[in-house]
Amino acid sequence: MEHFRKYYNPSRYIRMDLTTNKLVVKDFVDLAKNNKIIGFINYDLIFRRPELLKLKDITLLLDESSLIQNENAKRTKFIMSLNCKNVILLSGTPVGGKYENLWSQCRLLGWNIPKSEFYENYIRTRLIEVNGFRLPIVVGYRNIRNLKENLKEYGAIFLKSDEVLDLPNQVEIKQYCNPTKEYEYFKADSIITVDGEQLVGDNVLKKMLYERQLCGHFNSNKIEVLKDLMESTNDRLIIFYNFNREKELIVDLCKKMKRDYSLVNGECKDLKAY
């Protein structure tokens, strides 16, 4: 937003922030029919704005495009459904060295290669047995020069770090989740019953402890944010937790998403899956 304010005449493009108010999205879609307009939105909100699917012949610009490498994530499915005339993908680490994660970005650039064919041509795999199931794991790559040549035909440019001037510093991306009404009530009254459990903050330390729990395992918004994050990547993750109830929720989520997990705490140290 700041870049366009600074370098572009406001009469040339209408600029709209689509992140703060979902009602603005409808106005954006209506204005886009007859105006030059630019909208800004983050990855975690875009699939919650179905009105954007009405747009036609748009130019789509994705910063940090590696965030759509998981084709099963909601954000990726939604973005792949947009009606785009032009696509620009920017990323310092499009795959982090893992070429199997390039497929969704290839499709978005217009290379409609089936995933099975992509793997057959470029990815080496072998089968391992996990809990009675035979699962493929990536053990290497093939024909990478050919892969890059094909990508060049669809506009991909690969640069090494020393070929890029003024690389920006890495930034920490914080995901915020809304507090619950129970948290607000407890903060005011120091007593509340949640899931059949009564929390009484009868001293400062207890109140701080229960406030922390109400922002953790008692907050369903937090587990949804974690689920979105896990869906957005196939990378290994390290998740820190404070309470056993939090651990139980995270383990349940891993099981539902069929993600292998390891546990390290005061009771066990199991790094087998990791």
Contacts of 136 (CB under 8 A, 6+ apart): 125, 126, 127
> 178 pLDDT exceeds 90?
no
Element (H, E) at 130: strand 123-130
CB 192 within 8 A of CB 201: no
pTM: 0.60
Q: What percentage of the chain has pLDDT greater than the value 90?
A: 38
User: What is the phi/psi pair of residue 97, to 5°?
Assistant: 85, -5
Q: Count the helix, strand and coil residues of the chain and give each as a percent rounded to the nearest 5.
A: 40, 20, 40
Count of positions (residues) in the chain: 274
Buried b (16+ CB within 10 A) or exposed e, 167-204: eeeeeeeeeeeeebebbeebeeebebebeeeebebeee
> 163 pLDDT exceeds 80?
no
Confidence of residue 96 (pLDDT cuts 50, 70, 90): low
> 246 pLDDT exceeds 90?
yes
For residues 23 and 39, give the distance between their C-alpha atoms in angstroms, rounded to a whole number.
13
For residues 184 and 211, give the distance between their C-alpha atoms in angstroms, rounded to a whole number.
9
Amino acid code (one letter) for 30: D
Top-confidence residue, 162 or 85: 85
For residues 250 and 224, give the distance between their C-alpha atoms in angstroms, rounded to a whole number.
11
> What pLDDT, in 10s, does the model give residues 99-109?
888 899 899 88
What's the chain's average pLDDT?
A: 87
Confidence of residue 228 (pLDDT cuts 50, 70, 90): confident
> What pLDDT, in 10s, does the model give residues 45-81?
899 899 999 999 999 999 888 888 888 888 999 999 9
Q: What is the pLDDT of residue 166?
A: 67
Q: Which span out of 126-130, 196-200, 229-233 was modeled with the highest average pLDDT?
A: 196-200
Top-confidence residue, 93 or 184: 184
Q: What percentage of the chain has pLDDT greater than the value 70?
A: 95
Q: What is the pLDDT of residue 2?
A: 82
Which residue from 117, 57, 114, 60 is spatially nearest to 85, judged by alpha carbons? 57
Per the listing, tokens 């909601």 go with 74
